[in-house]
Amino acid sequence: MEPVMHMESLLQQFKGGSVSALPTPSIVADLDALDANLAKMDNFFAGTARRLRPHFKSHKCVTLARRQMSYPSTTGITCAKLSEAEQLVAGGIKDVLIANQVIGRDKTRRIAEMNRNALVRVAVDSREGISQLSDAALELGVKIGLLVEVDIGMNRGGVKPGQPVVELAEIIRDTGGVRFDGLQSYEGHIVTLPDYEERKKRVVEDMRPLFETRALLEQKGFSVMISSGGTGTYDITGKMEGIDELQCGSYALMDTAYKTIRPEFLNARYILATVISKRGDVISTDVGLKGMGAEYGTPVAVGYPDAENMYVAEEHSVFKNMEAAIGDKIRILPPHGCTTNNFYPRMWITRNDIVADLWAIEGRGCLE
Ligand SMILES: Cc1ncc(COP(=O)(O)O)c(C=O)c1O
């Protein structure tokens, strides 16, 4: 993480000035657009019993996570890594779910330590994981809440619905340092299906075994909560009987890939880049794969409707049909927002294109 002093002096240097004075490449978020996205999602949950647990992976910024927590529908924060959870807890977030497996005794001990002052729950899908977490908890005199991860088709983690879940729930119940809190799932294999009706049909089908598993557990006396869902499914999964929490992440800042299926949320973040080379109407900018997540989707140059991205190289993104001059600062919407934020130590915050703030991206590079 960047030294606070450096952040402060950078902010002092640019605060109150035009966004176009910032060095490039930088990531910039428009505060009004961001707040509109947060309010829209919050509004979806208003008057329902379901809660939002926004995913930290999408922005990795503790200040933004605290802003999300200030909405009434938000119950806590989701993250993928132990080191992300540590940043969140250090930043004052008291309810965190690591929606992923954490394996390794050095790591499970760190989870137990966090549980001294906060509620940090973890997904599990193996006896080994349960036993390592339990040992660490017993050593430190805490209890760790666990969610059994159920694989509903993504094949990334989790056990199959039904009996395999019941078996792990029973092991957790009979193991000293841990507590069974419910089920974790993620419909990642269908969350971005382009056709909404098809997406809805698949989500309904693929989530059914999850709800049957919940019923099975409840028959056996377990009390169960289910955490699942993403930006592409919030209004499908988020209306299902049996869902308690949604883990949407991308809705906050968005990206070009998600924008194609979720037009109701605004692209609140862009990369400010400089045109550094020009060959006729083909231009190259100073941001490439080392500053922009482009595993899928296409970067978009804002304000150049005819521009077409030709390719993204390590340090360049190249557009054709683009009448821009060398030295112009342009705005590029990244194809994949989550990996984009992971490249930057800080995100500039603007209002009406005037620099208003600078937020650290504490979760940058949090791989452990
Ligand atoms: C476990 C989990 N939950 C939720 C999400 C939701 O993210 P998004 O809102 O970006 O679809 C993800 C994204 O990868 C995830 O891995």
Atom of ligand 1 nearest to the CA of 234: 9
**For residue 234, how far is its CA from the centre of ligand 1 (angstroms)?**
11
pLDDT digits (tens, 9 = 90+) for 216-249: 999 999 999 999 999 999 999 999 999 999 999 9
Q: Is domain 32-252 annotated with CATH 3.20.20.10?
A: yes
DSSP secondary structure letters along 325-344: -TT-EEEEE-SBHHHHHTT-
Measure the CA–CA gap between 251 and 265, rounded to whole angstroms.
6
Confidence class of residue 1 from pLDDT cuts 50, 70 and 90? low
List the residue whose alpha carbon is closest to atom 2 of ligand 1. 186
List the residue whose alpha carbon is closest to atom 10 of ligand 1. 250
What pLDDT, on a 0 to 100 scale, did the predictor assign at position 5? 74
What pLDDT, on a 0 to 100 scale, did the predictor assign at position 297? 87
Average pLDDT, the chain: 97
pLDDT digits (tens, 9 = 90+) for 178-191: 999 999 999 999 99
Ligand 1: list residues with CB < 6 Å: 55, 58, 78, 99, 186, 188, 191, 230-232, 247-250
Which residues, 6+ apart, have CB-to-CB distance to 20 below 8 Å? 272, 329, 353
Alpha-carbon distance values, 303 to 264, 282, 298, 321, 323 (Å): 20, 16, 15, 12, 11
DSSP secondary structure letters along 113-137: HHTTTSEEEEEE-SHHHHHHHHHHH
Confidence class of residue 275 from pLDDT cuts 50, 70 and 90? very high
Identify the DSSP state of 185: -
Mean pLDDT computed over 277-282: 97
- For the chain, what percent of residues have pLDDT higher than 70? 99
Intervals of CATH 3.20.20.10 along the chain: 32-252
25 upstream amide cis, omega within 30 of 0: yes
Homologous superfamily in CATH for domain 4-30+263-360: D-serine dehydratase-like domain (2.40.37.20)
What pLDDT, on a 0 to 100 scale, did the predictor assign at position 2? 67
What pLDDT, on a 0 to 100 scale, did the predictor assign at position 4? 75
Mean pLDDT computed over 125-135: 98
Atom of ligand 1 nearest to the CA of 229: 4
Q: β-pairing, 77-79 with 329-333?
A: unpaired
Mutate to test the pocket of ligand 1, among 55, 190, 227, 341 (most ligand atoms within 8 A of CB): 55
| Two tokens, residue 306 | 């005819």
What pLDDT, on a 0 to 100 scale, did the predictor assign at position 160? 98
What pLDDT, on a 0 to 100 scale, did the predictor assign at position 243? 97
Mean pLDDT computed over 166-170: 98
Intervals of CATH 2.40.37.20 along the chain: 4-30+263-360
DSSP secondary structure letters along 211-234: HHHHHHHHHTT---EEEE--TTTH
Mean pLDDT computed over 123-152: 98
Mean pLDDT computed over 154-172: 97
Measure the CA–CA gap between 293 and 291, rounded to whole angstroms.
7
Closest C-alpha to 54, from 62, 46, 283 = 62
Measure the CA–CA gap between 61 and 28, rounded to whole angstroms.
13
Instruction: Decide if pLDDT at 202 tops 70.
Output: yes
pLDDT digits (tens, 9 = 90+) for 64-117: 999 999 999 999 999 999 999 999 999 999 999 999 999 999 999 999 999 999
Only one residue has tokens 């989530």, namely 207
Amino acid at position 125, single letter = D
**For residue 212, how far is its CA from the centre of ligand 1 (angstroms)?**
23
Instruction: Decide if pLDDT at 3 tops 80.
Output: no
**For residue 320, how far is its CA from the centre of ligand 1 (angstroms)?**
33
pLDDT digits (tens, 9 = 90+) for 286-325: 999 999 999 988 999 999 999 999 999 999 999 999 999 9
DSSP secondary structure letters along 246-268: E---GGGT--HHHHTT-TTS---
What pLDDT, on a 0 to 100 scale, did the predictor assign at position 296? 86
Mutate to test the pocket of ligand 1, among 53, 186, 226, 262 (most ligand atoms within 8 A of CB): 186
